[in-house]
Chain A
Amino acid sequence: MNGLYLQLHAYMLRVAIPYGTFSSKQMRKLAHIARTYDRGYGHFTTRQNIQFNWPKLEDVPKLLAELADVEMHAIQTSGNCIRNVTADPYAGAVADEVDDSRIWAEIVRQWSTLHPEFTFLGRKFKIAVSASEYDRAVIRFHDIGLIAKKNDVGEMGFEVWIGGGLGRTPMIGKVSNEFVPAEDLLSYLEAVLRVYNMCGRRDNKHKARIKILVHETGLDELRAQIEEEWIAIKDSSLKVPQYEVDRIRAYFSPPEFKVLEVVDRGFEIKKFESPEFARWVSGNVVTHKNAGYAIVNISLKPKKLPPGDVTSNQMEGLADLAETYSFDEIRATHEQNLVFAHVKQSELFELWQELEKIGLAMPNIGKVTDMIVCPGLDYCGLANARSIPVAQRISKRFSDLDQQFDLGELKLKISGCINACGHHHVGHIGLLGVDRRGEEYYQITLGGSGAEDAAIGNIVGPAFSSEDIVNAVEEVISLYVETRHLGERFLDTYRRIGAAPFKSRLYPE
């Protein structure tokens, strides 16, 4: 269950960051580990964790001991168990949530840690928690996705999505229960896991995820089995007592926000004076629920480094900045970026300047160069093709920021094989690396989305060679630019006009 894997060239250690939230002290330790035991960098993953790609096997015990010094570990980041629980990276900072999803993710984390019954499941099991109608945690593509909501009388509960997943058989999750009362959350999860553990397939590991059980059993039948188990165990010590919720909530209590003006005048002036700063604000900064504060996305997709990679020096810089500007707290996102959740508007300009100094002020959040990319054949023994060099060539081709802003939200995701670690199925544009007689080829999918408008992308046609793939992506984007209505995102244009025009553009007679 310790996330240590032998990869193509070396061992990889995956460190758990529950719900992606960690402190400056922990970040400094990660920087130290990267410098001492690795090659001076770490890689943030799509499940809000961090991976080290080059530790020596004999160093791993020391490395784990160092992690334990800052209350971190690598348990349940591999194996057929319940993996590290993820949550909305804007939790506690955004106005559209009904609660801080990390509170419930923490309750689930405690319940699932070293669970005696669910440590040898048929396959890995991933749970994500959100508390908003906007999906920033890919809820619909998890084994279980939880969306906190309130019922008509104001009580908290969860909409439960089961059987979502990517990989070689991508499936959008289905709602197994529209409202599980909060106090019954753990008994419901236990019922789902028990039914899955007993009934999920064990004969073929490619058919062992719960999505296949949902598909083969049928949602109604499976739901009935879950309900039967749930009713039998609901009124037991699995009930989550209110004092425990309150106790855990206290750990996530809001920092001491100052009472500030809704709009900071100095901030507005700086935006006016510096178009570059204004562009970074428009690309990376999101409205905070508290007046005078902002949520800052820090892009880990600079031009040159592999997506999601951060050097030890950058990590230390970020640790200092989080202490100064964001209450000593950092979030990792599933899109392989970082978030400072609580920054004063009046300090954004300083923070931006400081981020510039460590090369982390790219204003490309949600833009075409903000790609999710798996490690690919540069690191991974499963991959058919390299992902990182293709990402870098796309980054270069679209490096013009004016063009990126003109293209608007465009989610491009690259996987080096059908296991889909780069989430290509849910990319507005997805690239999948395939092997064709020893050559690296790339298949294009269009129209996917991992957000609340969840969709699985469609394969548009035969794969392109490594040489041609960037041109092909550019053709797809050109067609969008020529066809879009005013203000229309790539995804919406695709949904409006369908795949046919893209097909004829990419594969002319």
Chain B
Amino acid sequence: MPLLKDRKIVDDAWTLLADDDEIPLTGYVVVSLDRFINDSGAILACDGPIGVRLTSEQSPQLIAGALAKLSLVQLEFPVFTDGRAYSYARLLHRLGFVGEIRAVGNILRDQYLNLKRCGFDGIELKEGVTEKDWAASTSSFSVPYQVAHGTAQSIMSLRERRMARND
């Protein structure tokens, strides 16, 4: 699956481990929440970066205490209609997580802009989706009404700037 970060399709340095796979010392592995909880000694002893994958039933609150040690949190969309992970992404930011937040699973093109605005850094795209598709989908609305994650200027703040200019 192509991984998109910062508008580009990039190589994915990370490997998703099954719960009985060995933890490599080099890191760059993603483990399930169960594995992370049950095997935290071995996982945190690893020198390299570690990621955790959360299902849509698992709130980031469950790993709030360990966020400083994580470099990646993957949030699953089991079906495109299950929108819990949009809030999980915003919660991760609010909890001060500075690593990568990645969306994985069943995601539709119409949802790219929502993901971007909720602060996902990486998206696993479906096979065949291109950077162009991403660019087209995320530019379909020029200005958002409301403040969300990131630097997009809301309509409200643009109005404020215009008013300041007119004063």
Give 1 or 0 for each of A180-209: 1 = CB within 8 Å of chain B CB: 000000100000001001100010000000
Asked if A273 is an interface residue, CB under 8 A from chain B, the answer is no
Query: When the two chains form their complex, are residues A116 and B86 in contact, meaning their CB atoms are under 8 A apart?
Result: yes
The reply to whether the CB of B1 lies closer than 8 angstroms to some CB of chain A is: no
Residue B165 interfacial (CB < 8 Å): no
CB distance from B61 to the nearest CB of A (A): 9
Q: Is the CB of A232 within 8 A of B145?
A: no
| Identity of the chain B residue whose Cβ is nearest the Cβ of A112 in the assembled complex | B146
Neighbouring B residues of A111 by C-beta, 8 Å: 145-146
A194 touches B90 (CB 8 A): yes
Cα A31 to Cα B88 with chains together (Å)? 45
State whether the Cβ of B45 lies closer than 8 Å to any Cβ in chain A.
no
Closest residue of chain A to B150, judged by CB? A116
Q: How many residues does chain A have at the interface if contact means C-beta atoms less than 8 Å apart? A: 27
B59 CB contacts on chain A under 8 angstroms: 198
Q: Does A266 contact B (CB under 8 A)?
A: no
Asked if B40 CB lies within 8 Å of chain A CBs, one says no
Query: What A residues does B144 contact at CB under 8 A?
Result: 114, 116
Closest to B81 in A: A120
A323 to chain B, nearest CB (A): 30
* B154 / chain A contacts, CB cutoff of 8 Å: 237
- B80: which A residues are within 8 A, CB to CB? 120
Which residues in chain A, 231-252, are within 8 Å of chain B measured between CB atoms? 232-233, 236-238, 241, 243-244, 247
| Chain B contacts for A244, CB-based, 8 A | 156, 159-160
CB distance from A430 to the nearest CB of B (A): 32
User: Least Cβ distance of B33 to chain A in Å?
Assistant: 15
Assess whether B155 is in contact with A197, with CB atoms less than 8 Å apart.
no
Among A202, A232, A241, the residue within 8 A (CB) of B156 is A241
Main secondary structure of the interface of B (DSSP, over half): helix
**Contacting residues, chain A, for B91 (C-beta < 8 A):** 194, 198
* One of B4-12, B21-29, B63-71, B111-119 contacting the partner: B111-119
| Residue A115 lies at the interface, judged by CB distance under 8 Å to chain B | yes
Most buried by A among B118, B156, B159: B156
CB distance from B58 to the nearest CB of A (A): 10
Secondary structure dominating the interface of A: loop
Whether the pair A117, B157 counts as a contact (CB closer than 8 A) is: no
Whether, in the assembled complex, A113 has its beta carbon less than 8 Å from a beta carbon of chain B, the answer is yes
Q: A197 contacts B86, CB within 8 Å?
A: yes
Minimum Cβ distance to chain B for residue A245 (Å): 11
Residues in chain B near residue A236, CB distance under 8 A: 147
- B-side contacts of A186, CB under 8 Å: 146
Instruction: Chain B residues near A238: list those with CB within 8 A.
Output: 147
B92 to chain A, nearest CB (A): 12
Contact B90 A117 (CB under 8 A): yes
**A119 and B146 contact, CB distance less than 8 A:** no
CB 8 Å contact bits of A115-128 with B (1 = contact, 0 = none):
11111110000000
A346 at the interface (CB under 8 A from B): no
1/0 contact string of B130-157 vs chain A (CB within 8 Å): 0000000000010011111000001111
- Cα(A233)–Cα(B90), bound, Å: 11
Chain A, 40-90, CB within 8 A of any chain B CB: 80
Q: Which residues of B contact A198 (CB under 8 A)?
A: 59, 84, 87-88, 91
Chain A residues in 8 Å Cβ range of B141 = 114
For the complex, is A177 an interface residue (Cβ under 8 Å from B)?
no
Output the least CB separation between A219 and chain B (Å).
Answer: 21
- Given the interface pairs A119-B83, A241-B156, A247-B159, the reply to whether A113 lies near B145 with Cβ below 8 Å is yes
Minimal beta-carbon separation of A105 from chain B (angstroms): 14
How far apart are the CA atoms of A268 and B82 in the complex, in Å? 61
Q: Which residues of B contact A113 (CB under 8 A)?
A: 145-146
Residues of A within 8 A of B113 (CB): 116
Known: A198-B59, A202-B82. A117 touches B148 (CB 8 A): yes
Bound form: Cα–Cα A116–B141 in Å: 12
Given A194-B87, A237-B147, A243-B160; A117-B114 close (CB under 8 Å): yes
- The answer on a CB contact under 8 Å between B83 and A197 is yes
Within 8 Å of chain B (Cβ to Cβ): is A217?
no
Contact of B84 among A197, A233, A247 (CB under 8 A): A197
With a CB–CB cut-off of 8 A, which chain B residues contact A233? 94
Nearest B residue to A111 via CB reads B146
Residues of B with C-beta under 8 A to A478 = none
A112 CA to B141 CA, complexed, in Å:
15
B163 contacts the other chain (Cβ, under 8 Å)? yes
Which residue from B87, B157, B163 sits with its C-beta under 8 Å from A237?
Answer: B157
A110 contacts partner chain B, Cβ-Cβ < 8 Å: yes
A114 contacts B94, CB within 8 Å?
Answer: no
Contacts of A112 in B (CB 8 A): 146
* Also in contact, A116 and B84, with CB within 8 A (given A243-B160, A244-B156): no
Q: Complex Cα distance A118/B163, Å?
A: 30
Known: A110-B145, A111-B145, A247-B159. A197 touches B87 (CB 8 A): yes
Q: A117, B160: Cβ atoms under 8 Å?
A: no
List the B side residues contacting A120 at CB < 8 Å.
Answer: 80-83, 86, 111
Within 8 A of A (CB), among B85-125: 86-88, 90-91, 94, 111, 113-118
Complexed CA–CA distance, A178 and B114 (Å) = 32
CB distance from B123 to the nearest CB of A (A): 14
Q: Please name all residues of chain A whose beta carbon is closer than 8 Å to the beta carbon of B156 when the two chains form the complex.
A: 110, 241, 244
Whether A110 lies near B155 (C-beta < 8 A) is yes
A71 CA / B101 CA spacing, docked (Å): 37
10 cross-chain pairs, A with B, having the tightest CB-CB distances, nearest first: A120-B83, A116-B117, A116-B114, A197-B87, A117-B86, A237-B147, A110-B145, A111-B146, A198-B87, A194-B87
- Please report A residues at the B interface, Cβ cutoff 8 Å: 80, 110-121, 186, 194, 197-198, 202, 232-233, 236-238, 241, 243-244, 247
Can you list 14 A-B contacts (CB < 8 A)?
A: A111-B146, A116-B115, A117-B117, A194-B91, A197-B83, A197-B84, A198-B88, A202-B82, A233-B94, A238-B147, A241-B156, A243-B160, A244-B156, A247-B159
